[in-house]
Each structure stands twice: as structure tokens, then as C-alpha cells.
Amino acid sequence: MKIAEKCKREQEQLLIEGYKEMAEESLKITKEFEAIENLDIDNCIGCSS
């Protein structure tokens, strides 16, 4: 029984680590898109913004 509980805890920890990594990557991508959008707005000639 202890082995099953240990295995379950390890799986939960791996899931948590995986979700943390995915969240960090998502945040990086979001920041990159925001930077690109800001460049587009700053470099827009004749835009009506």
C-alpha cells in the first residue's frame, strides 16, 4: 500500500512540475507576442490609432 501511495505522490509532483513548466512557456510566448504587437503599433505609419 505504501508503494502505491508513494507512486501516486510522485505522479502528482510530476504533473505539478509539468504544469509549472507549461505555464512558464505560455508566459514567455505571451510576452513575445505582446512585444511584437507593441513593435507593430510603434512602427505603424499612417495608422489611425
Neighbours of 44 (CB within 10 A): 10
Rounded Cα distance between 33 and 31, Å, is 5
The pLDDT, as a whole number, for residue 47 is 61
Grid-cell match 505582446, residue found: 34
Judge contact between 41 and 49, C-beta under 8 A. Answer: yes
| Digit-coded pLDDT (tens) for 6-39 | 999 999 999 999 999 999 999 999 999 999 888 8
Dihedral sign, Cα of residue 25, residue 29, residue 30, residue 32: positive
| The model scores a pTM over 0.75 | no
